[in-house]
């Protein structure tokens, strides 16, 4: 790849992560190109070179965020569905400080979806993608595919969102890990019920 293209991609990514860092700290209020540029260590003109308007930045940053926070590769290495569910919890409750900030930014933007149609579509797409990956993993791990499996995977995505949001209110890792273990057992029981239909 051309060095200039690679450098441009790195700069764009830095700008998006700086946007998320700002949102995690201050919300969307007073978000500006100059504030993002300062956090990213780039010029304001660089921000506008990569993004036509400051309004597009949070949406693009949100799309980047989900790839970074949820490690699909770790989930692909699971050898059972139970292990997969445990890994989802582990990835939510064992974030380092930087990823906790990013996760917080995601929920700020999630909250914005109540008031701004731009975020609704992104959130819907993220849930659909996550549920689709879950379905693929369940089929490969468990070897079966039943009618309600897609809805079941959407349920897991919704439940994980709720846990993640509540976890960020107090960062009580021990408590949420314990409660997620109960949720895993319930999800496994539900899977067995759906299989028997």
pLDDT: is 6 or 157 the higher one? 157
Q: How confident is the model at residue 196 (pLDDT cuts 50, 70, 90)?
A: confident
What was the pLDDT predicted at 83? 92
Q: How confident is the model at residue 42 (pLDDT cuts 50, 70, 90)?
A: very high
Contact between 47 and 15 under an 8 Å Cβ cutoff? The reply is yes
What was the pLDDT predicted at 175? 97
What was the pLDDT predicted at 154? 92
pLDDT: is 4 or 30 the higher one? 30
**Looking at the predicted structure, is the pLDDT value of residue 8 above 80?**
no
**Looking at the predicted structure, is the pLDDT value of residue 159 above 60?**
yes
- Residue 115 Cα distances to 63, 86, 110, 118, 188, angstroms: 18, 33, 10, 9, 35
Which tens digit of pLDDT belongs to each residue from 164-174? Answer: 889 988 999 99
Q: What is the DSSP secondary-structure string of the chain?
A: --HHHHHHHHHHHHHHHHHHHHHHHH-STT--HHHHHHHHTS-HHHHHHH-S-TTHHHHHHHHHHHHHHS-HHHHHT-SSHHHHHHHHHHHHHS--HHHHHHHHHHHHHHHHTTT-HHHHHHHHHHHHHHHHHHHHHHHHHH----TTHHHHHHHHHHHHHHHHHHHHHH--HHHHHHHHHHHHHHHHHHHHHHHH-
| Residue range 99-110: mean pLDDT, rounded | 81
**Looking at the predicted structure, is the pLDDT value of residue 145 above 70?**
yes
Q: How confident is the model at residue 7 (pLDDT cuts 50, 70, 90)?
A: low
Q: How confident is the model at residue 155 (pLDDT cuts 50, 70, 90)?
A: very high
**Looking at the predicted structure, is the pLDDT value of residue 16 above 90?**
no
Closest to 63 in 3D by CA, of 111, 114, 26, 118: 118
**Looking at the predicted structure, is the pLDDT value of residue 71 above 70?**
no
Q: How confident is the model at residue 181 (pLDDT cuts 50, 70, 90)?
A: very high
């Amino acid at each position: 790849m051309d060095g200039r293209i690679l450098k441009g991609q790195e700069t764009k990514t830095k700008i998006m992560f700086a946007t998320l860092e700002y949102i995690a700290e201050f919300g969307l209020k007073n978000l500006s190109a100059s504030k993002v540029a300062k956090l990213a260590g780039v010029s304001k003109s660089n921000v506008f070179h990569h993004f036509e308007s400051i309004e597009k930045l949070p949406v693009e940053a949100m799309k980047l965020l989900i790839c970074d926070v949820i490690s699909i590769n770790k989930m692909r290495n699971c050898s059972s569905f139970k292990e997969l569910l445990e890994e989802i919890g582990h990835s939510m409750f064992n974030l380092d400080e930087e990823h906790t900030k990013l996760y917080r930014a995601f929920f700020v933007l999630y909250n914005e979806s109540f008031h701004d149609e731009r975020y609704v579509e992104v959130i819907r797409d993220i849930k659909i993608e996550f549920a689709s990956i879950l379905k693929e993993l369940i089929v490969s791990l468990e070897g079966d595919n039943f009618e309600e499996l897609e809805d079941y995977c959407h349920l897991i995505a919704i439940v994980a969102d709720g846990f993640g949001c509540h976890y960020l209110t107090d960062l009580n890792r021990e408590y949420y890990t314990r409660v997620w273990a109960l949720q895993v057992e319930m999800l496994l029981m539900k899977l067995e019920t759906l299989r028997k239909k």
